[in-house]
Amino acid sequence: MPSEKKISSASDCISFMQAGCELKKVRPNSRIYNRFFTLDPDLQALRWEPSKKDLEKAKLDISAIKEIRLGKNTETFRNNGLADQISEDCALSVIHGENYESLDLVANSADVANIWVSGLRYLVSRSKQPLDLMESSHNTPRFAWLKTVFEAADVDGNGIMLEDTSVELIKKLNPTLKESKIRLKFKEIQKSKEKLTTRVTEEEFCEAFCELCTRPEVYFLLVQISKNKEYLDANDLMLFLEAEQGVTHITEEMCLDIIRRYELSQEGRLKGFLAIDGFTQYLLSPECDIFDPEHKKIVQDMTQPLSHYYINASHNTYLIEDQLRGPADINGYVRALKMSCRSIELDVCDGPDNEPIICNRNNMTSPLSFQNVIEVINKLAFFASEYPLILCLGNHCSVQQQKVVVQHMKRIFGNKLYTETPLSSEAYLPSPEKLKMKIIVKGKKLPCDQDILEGEVTDEDEEAEISRRLSEDFSREPKLIWLCKELSDLVSLCKSVQYKDFETSMKAQNYWEICSFSEAEASRIANEYPEDFVNYNKKFLSRVYPSAMRIDSSNLNPQDFWNCGCQIVAMNYQTPGPMMDLHTGWFLQNGGCGYVLRPSVMREEVSYFSANTKGIVPGVSPQVLHVKIISGQNFPKPKGACAKGDVIDPYVCIEIHGIPADCTEQRTKTVQQNSDNPIFDESFEFQINLPELAMIRFVVLDDDYIGDEFIGQYTIPLECLQPGYRHIPLRSFVGDIMEHVTLFVHIAITNRSGGGKAQKRSLSVRIGKKAREYTMLRNTGLKTIDDIFKLAVHPLREATDMRENMQVWLLSALVYSECASRGPDEPCQ
């Protein structure tokens, strides 16, 4: 079957309108009628049928049209009882006559609505000479450029070339196109002209390229922002960048530079305009990526205590398979460190010839030399991040081989090892900034009040936890292991201690001590004591590791524990999937350095926050995320799908991850049998109550799958979203970027009252205090009610001032109290 002709120019829109289609006509009395609308052959009037009116009255002269609006933007739509059932993207209104009456219509798809809006706007803007322009549609700059491309490839100068040469030329201009699709298009063109030869003329080459390489949604966008031209000049581009893309301080010279870099035709580059092909390339470029380039750098304050950051952490780092059968592999460390992991695990056991080894104690067949592992760690420790690396040491060695471990670490790491004794006069851990290029050892320590060369300490590793869980006696004491003084002395800021309860910890735990929680224990505490868990994590480090029952090395949901402020949530890097997507996406921010500053409500001493918050967070302004899923590009067939041909039926899921009040999921409709450029054109809104902890995961799935439905995904923190029209580079199941596979979207973020783009946290962290935000009241439109609620505005402002002032005073009092307790020679921070 020949493919449906794409809209690639104004003349295509006009042709479609002349052929006509069914539109729904909306009346103010809430009635909706199906009518067949057409454009007259002479382009002078719009007609519809059937109609009770005279045929000459069931029309609208193009010369009478004042404005064409896309969306539900008239009183008829606003007052229609069925308006909620009408898609915003499918609605359009034609404003006409001296009294500015409206003809309100609904198309059966956003594409059709765009065709009518673009075509009518074109006709209205060129009402005096439309016919001349239509006849010269093949003399546009785009066709002039394509002719030069064709002539350069036509070495014989005959005006024709072999089909193979034409296919290669189009592939070169657009590498994303499949060869079979290009050949099919040439066959369609030749069949329509009843040609027997396979040689391609210049006109056929231009026609094939325009139909194959024009994305309708991008064409409609270009026409909209260019005020019905088929190209953008510098002023159009400047307005687009400022109003839609959120770019500040844009100049005309910057716009001309973009045109020079992306416009394909020499004429366009010289005259300063961007046609459809250059505009498409610009939208696909890194400059229009959804990820804010500002967050590819360190943008957060790195001088706060270590306990105020989420830390990128790995579990069983030495594994590249599951924990039951998987052998130890050095590549586990290479992968983790190259992904900015800042907390890695080393399970060390006695090896042959007095040389310690690292191994999976469930599979001892391929142990790693401890010395070789730490040489690799030393080489890559600061390859992806200069901030501190934590080594979680699982010590299963004899005292004799523990001393060998110490010798290797001191010799190989040298002065990178952080062994300074913590100061009891301090209250918090040092900052990542202060600990740059340092390696911190987490492990057990001998009692500091005993001067001994070796001694017994409790074994609190994960195997001990398993044995306690499997035992009927859950209260039995943990076993003891021997520890030598040399290894004990390597542990400084991350001394492992056992958690008992929050009351004991807040009274007796030192700031340099760290508790490790199993997934089950951390989940129980998070559910029973959510506020206490958050407060505990303001001062102390917490490490959460996956349940020992996850023998397939599946991953826990890190968001559950980030919500409680847990800094080190250890992940099985070797196991891809939704949970690892969240982890990887979260740590893309802040320059991908492996440290992310927690929200202020989870750091400040006087703030209150519960991980189980079901609504608005006190002191935090909610934001509204507006997402429009426009189209997809070059979706592959799911990798694990059984034999089903190459056709897929894609749809898109949008997942919001964060505190429980923010977690939700919505999906688009399914587009049947289209993997190259499926058009979704659906809009969604999400209220985000704690934006600093929210993530968005875009997932593309196949609705007609056999065996596997996953096509691609992309996960990004809300803080890193760029507004405007953006392409999302989709990742495969294992997390690799898939070449040319994208999702085209429009993003907007506003505050809850609907005004403007909300302030981003990263900027406020760098710049300082943000302006005080007051509760806004919306008008209902009922004067009596609005007048009553106006009286509440002033008291609400006063209440906000009192609350914020009280927090400032309390914080000042704490600082004053701390300063007063210091000696005369001690600096007050």
What is the C-alpha separation between 68 and 74, in angstroms, rounded?
Answer: 11
What is the C-alpha separation between 778 and 753, in angstroms, rounded?
Answer: 8
> Judging by DSSP bridges, how do beta strands 541-545 and 273-275 pair with one another?
unpaired
Burial class (CB in 10 A: 0-12, 13-18, 19+), 543: buried
Q: Reduce the DSSP state of residue 460 to 3 states and report it.
A: coil
What is the C-alpha separation between 679 and 650, in angstroms, rounded?
Answer: 10
Q: Chunk the chain into consecutive blocks of 10 residues (it has 829) and report each block's average pLDDT, rounded to whole numbers.
A: 59 88 87 90 88 77 90 86 82 91 91 89 69 52 88 86 92 91 89 79 90 90 86 93 92 95 92 93 95 95 96 93 79 95 94 90 78 96 96 92 95 95 91 96 87 80 56 62 92 92 91 94 93 93 91 92 95 94 96 95 84 81 94 89 73 95 94 90 93 96 84 96 96 93 95 53 35 52 58 66 62 54 53
What is the C-alpha separation between 484 and 627, in angstroms, rounded?
Answer: 58
pLDDT given for residue 133 in this prediction = 43
| CA-to-CA dists, residue 231 to 139, 242, 744, 773, 810, angstroms | 14, 18, 20, 42, 59
Taking the CA of residue 549 as centre, how many other CA atoms within 13 Å lie in the half-sphere pointing to its CB?
A: 7
Q: Where are the domains of the chain?
A: 10-127, 306-470+479-602, 623-751, 780-817
| Interval 589-615: pLDDT, tens | 999 999 999 999 899 887 788 878 777
Burial class (CB in 10 A: 0-12, 13-18, 19+), 531: middle
Concatenated DSSP letters of 205-237? HHHHHHHHH--HHHHHHHHHHTTS-SEEEHHHH
What is the C-alpha separation between 23 and 490, in angstroms, rounded?
Answer: 76
| CA-to-CA dists, residue 253 to 95, 250, 256, 305, 740, angstroms | 37, 8, 5, 44, 30
pLDDT given for residue 80 in this prediction = 77
What is the C-alpha separation between 85 and 103, in angstroms, rounded?
Answer: 19
CATH of 306-470+479-602, one of 3.20.20.190, 3.40.640.10, 3.30.1330.60, 3.40.50.1100: 3.20.20.190
With both helix axes pointing from N to C terminus, report the angle between 276-284 and 216-225 in degrees, rounded to the nearest 10. 110
What is the C-alpha separation between 765 and 767, in angstroms, rounded?
Answer: 6
What is the C-alpha separation between 485 and 402, in angstroms, rounded?
Answer: 10
CATH of domain 623-751: 2.60.40.150
What is the C-alpha separation between 274 and 219, in angstroms, rounded?
Answer: 12
Q: Reduce the DSSP state of residue 742 to 3 states and report it.
A: strand
CATH of 10-127, one of 3.40.605.10, 2.30.29.30, 3.40.50.10540, 3.40.50.2300: 2.30.29.30
With both helix axes pointing from N to C terminus, report the angle between 163-173 and 202-213 in degrees, rounded to the nearest 10. 40
